[in-house]
Amino acid sequence: MRDHKIRKDITIFGHRGARGIYTENTMAGFRYLNEIGINAVELDVQNAANRVTVIAHDPYVFMPNTVNEKSCKKLIRITEAKELTKVTAGAPCTGTEYTKQFPDQARPSNRHIPTFATFCKWAAKHPLLTLNVEIKSHAEQTDLYDPPDIIVSDVVDLLERHDLRHRCIISSFDWRVLEACAKRAPTVTRGHLTLEQNHGTAMVPNIVDGSPWMSGVTRKDHKDSLAQTISALGGKVWCPYFKDLTESELAKAKELGLLVNVWTVNSVSDIIRMAKMGVDGIISDYPARVQNILSQ
């Protein structure tokens, strides 16, 4: 990569609030962003039973079992929201790979899974806050989440109720969700999440030939360019995994007028590399770290 200067006007998104500092997808993490002057947040939503939208990343939650005092795994989609709001959010126990990954993460005893309505009510009081709402969906295991048209309708209804539509990006790895969003709310900005390689992790790429995640679309019809593919679909924001992004594809995205927000960038060296490359947004578990680097 050529020796570029660090771009200073990058939008910093706190990933799942600020996962490296507070339990993910909790109000404590969202409030922390406001306290340190970060004006953009990324969070995950899905529907619990009876189409109540909650903020959670995984399709399952560990519920306390009063019979044998062990946690039992329940599918969020069929669990009542009032039960979920009493559940301790985050890793079910200490010593897991997850907790080892975020050793400095504060885990207050009152950390619970919030409803999206609760978050929207709070966000409405912070007019400078930009939202990136990732809708959880699975293009192959379709029973894990509500159908795309259902969850999109419920999310957009809440955004409209709290006058948040104009400052929200709706993103998803499942492009069927974004297709549904284009129909339900064509003026809402859509963010196409992409992962081309797993890079030695357990993550499953959604950008492959014949992928159901791409909703029948193929790069071959667009000169093998993800940027051109997303632009042709009417997308305005491309959200690639940062290790997949090349300078040439970033340049192409800029030519097409796409914003490029990369995820999830945590190390100092990677933050600097992305800032020098000139991305528009950095999604990070450590937003204050990004903030400090860009302010130097």
Least confident range from 110-119, 249-258, 287-296: namely 110-119
SS3 14: strand
Amino acid at 1: M
Residue 49 amino acid letter: A
pLDDT in tens, 28-65: 999 999 999 999 999 999 999 999 999 999 999 987 65
Question: Which one, of 126, 216, 209, 229, lies nearest residue 174 by Cα?
Answer: 216
pLDDT in tens, 180-189: 999 999 999 9
CA distance 57 to 75: 12
Question: Would strands 130-135 and 237-240 be described as parallel, antiparallel, or unpaired?
Answer: unpaired
- Answer yes or no: is 243 within a domain: yes
What b-and-e string marks burial along 99-119, b requiring 16 or more CB atoms within 10 Å of the CB? eeebeebebeeebbbbbbbeb
41 lies in some domain = yes
Q: Is residue 112 helix, strand or coil?
A: strand
Residue tagged 């993910």 (tokens): 24
pLDDT, average across residues 19-32: 96
On whether residue 4 sits in a domain, the answer given is: no
Amino acid of residue 283: I
User: Tens digit of pLDDT for each residue in 199-230?
Assistant: 988 899 999 989 999 999 999 999 999 999 99
Task: Kindly report the CATH number assigned to the domain that includes residue 146.
Answer: 3.20.20.190
Task: Say what the pLDDT of residue 3 is.
Answer: 64
Distances from the Cα of 15 to the Cα of 20, 69, 143, 157, 202, angstroms: 9, 32, 26, 23, 19
Q: How far is CA 66 from CA 49, 110, 167, 243, in A?
A: 21, 19, 42, 44
Distances (CA, A) of 218 to 4, 37, 178, 199, 241: 33, 40, 15, 22, 19
**Is 211 part of a structural domain of the chain?**
yes
Question: Does residue 70 fall inside a structural domain?
Answer: no
| 290 lies in some domain | yes
Domain that holds residue 159: 11-57+89-295
- CA-based radius of gyration for the chain: 19
Query: Sorting pLDDT into bands at 50, 70 and 90, what band is 245?
Result: very high
Q: In this structure, is residue 1 part of a structural domain?
A: no
The whole-angstrom separation of Cα 77 and Cα 158 is: 18
Residues 237-254 have a mean pLDDT of: 98
Query: What pLDDT is stored for residue 94 in this prediction?
Result: 58
Number of domains in the chain: 1
For residue range 111-135, what is the model confidence (pLDDT) as tens digits? 899 999 999 999 999 999 999 999 9
Is residue 137 scored above 60 in pLDDT? yes
- Per-residue pLDDT, averaged over 157-167, amounts to 99
Q: Is the pLDDT of residue 267 over 60?
A: yes
Mean pLDDT of the 17-28 span:
96
Is 81 within a domain?
A: no
pLDDT band at 12 (very low <50, low <70, confident <90, very high): very high
